[in-house]
Amino acid sequence: MAGTVVVFDFDKTIIDCDSDNWVVDGLGATELFERLLPAMPWNTLMDTMMAELHARGKSIEDIEGVLKTAPLDPRIAKGIKTAHALGCELKIVSDANTFFIETILKHHGLIGYFSEINTNPSYVDEEGRLRISPYHDFHRSSHGCPLCPPNMCKSAVVERIQSSAMAEGKKRIIYLGDGKGDYCPSLRLTESDHVMPRKNYPLWELISEDPSRIKAQVHEWSNGEEQERTLLQIIQSLLLADGHSSSQQLLSVDCKLETIPMAAHDPVLQALPVPH
């Protein structure tokens, strides 16, 4: 599957919550967050909230502790591992930030499966405060996209991934997301690509309003089990399209070769690797 790049959003796609809200709520700053929200862009607000939490005596360790409790469905973790074992290149494009994403992925043993994490940069300053910066410095210039928040247009990232993939001989992208910010990059996908919107979330609603705008094949999902099953079904169909026999043994996530019995009711599943 060297010809496939799988691009994941993070919040409400890999984890089943919004990491920004999870930290703010978990450390007792919800009231201030909601009061400031109408007054500033989200990315600027999160940097401001990290300053407030620091002023309240909350440490980086406190933030890490809350992040480690963020819900991540084990079926999603298994899907990530299986897709990687089958040779897909995995990347993240998210409007969260590096500290939040890396802390959660390291906690679940998943960070090594991703070749890229594209998100808002963050770092811990000399005072021990977490600083969060915009992916695109909108204070200097606009990225020019009316569909996206000022700090990040995911299409700009996906277009770079597409160009790089094409240069490396990769054939298609599978894009998983849930939010309004995932709609713009979904519009950039081609007929050979696949998009997986989370059902009844903003991306799914926007696609449903005018499906003709999306060139990629659309596959909805609702929960971790459906995400894992749908992603692996797509990968299996691409394996078959690339000339791999459905009777071949395939790698499972622990790198063992397995022959999976044919599922008569669902032929696409006949040679799927069983996640462990």
Annotated catalytic residue, options 9, 47, 182, 193: 9
What tens digit of pLDDT does each residue of 84-130 get? Answer: 999 999 999 999 999 999 999 999 999 999 999 999 999 999 999 99
Question: Is the pLDDT at 148 greater than 70, yes or no?
Answer: yes
Residue 56 in any domain: the answer is no
Amino acid identity of 139?
H
Q: Which domain holds residue 105?
A: 4-17+70-269
Share of the chain above pLDDT 70, in %: 87
pLDDT, averaged across the chain: 88
Helix axes 98-107, 60-67, angle to 10 degrees: 60
- Catalytic site includes residue 182: no
Residue 26 in any domain: the answer is no
Query: Among the listed ranges 47-51, 79-83, 235-239, which one has the minimum average pLDDT value?
Result: 235-239
What per-residue confidence (pLDDT) applies to 147?
A: 85
Report the number of distinct structural domains present in the chain.
Answer: 1
**Is 178 assigned to a binding site?**
yes
Residue 30 in any domain: the answer is no
Residue 57 in any domain: the answer is no
**Is 9 assigned to a binding site?**
yes
Reported confidence tier of residue 19, pLDDT bands at 50, 70, 90? very high
Length of the chain: 276
Measured between alpha carbons, how far is 123 from 131 in angstroms, rounded to an integer? 5
Share of the chain above pLDDT 90, in %: 76
What per-residue confidence (pLDDT) applies to 244?
A: 66
Q: What is the DSSP letter of 35?
A: H
**Is 193 assigned to a binding site?**
no
Of the CA atoms within 13 Å of residue 100, those in its CB half-sphere come to 29
Look at the pTM and tell me if it is higher than 0.85. yes
**Is 73 assigned to a binding site?**
no
Residue 50 in any domain: the answer is no
* Strands 4-8 vs 172-177: parallel, antiparallel or unpaired: parallel
Question: Is the pLDDT at 261 greater than 80, yes or no?
Answer: no
Annotate 69-117 with DSSP letters as a single string: TS---HHHHHHHHHHHHTT-EEEEEEEEEHHHHHHHHHHTT-GGGEEEE
* CATH number of 86's domain: 3.40.50.1000
Q: Find residue 176's DSSP bridge partners.
A: 8, 196
Asked if 54 contacts 202 with a C-beta cutoff of 8 angstroms, the reply is no
- Catalytic site includes residue 25: no
Residue with tokens 């959003």: 9
